[in-house]
Amino acid sequence: EDQVTQSPEALRLQEGESSSLNCSYTVSGLRGLFWYRQDPGKGPEFLFTLYSAGEEKEKERLKATLTKKESFLHITAPKPEDSATYLCAAPLISGNTPLVFGKGTRLSVIA
């Protein structure tokens, strides 16, 4: 069964303490791995799409990487405003199909 699994479920960091979030997937014929940020009471906000193993993308303090079986979201020197739930997702098949989401990692960055 195709699925997306994220770990840890929750992560608490001190401001400036770098860490990584994990997303492993078993979707066959992957057509992109997506990372989103979701703030409480809001819809998910798109961060990155990764398509092939070895690909990396960066945005401010975030860097996403992809291997054949998993993706990592690295957070360097986080700030309290980085606190959010980070979701990864993958489409089941190509074309205009919905995304299957992992359960997310709730990140709290403490000043």
Partner 1 sequence: GAVVSQHPSRVICKSGTSVKIECRSLDFQATTMFWYRQFPKKSLMLMATSNEGSKATYEQGVEKDKFLINHASLTLSTLTVTSAHPEDSSFYICSARDHGNSPLHFGNGTRLTVT
Interaction site with partner 1 (CB under 8 A):
32, 34, 36, 41-46, 49, 87, 89, 95-96, 98-104, 106
Q: What is the smallest separation between the CB atom of 99 and partner 1, expressed in angstroms?
A: 6
Does residue 62 contact residue 20 with C-beta atoms inside 8 Å? no
> Is the CB of 17 or the CB of 83 nearer to partner 1?
83
Q: What is the smallest separation between the CB atom of 71 and partner 1, expressed in angstroms?
A: 14
> Is the CB of 8 or the CB of 16 nearer to partner 1?
8
> Is the CB of 44 or the CB of 78 nearer to partner 1?
44
Q: What is the smallest separation between the CB atom of 91 and partner 1, expressed in angstroms?
A: 9
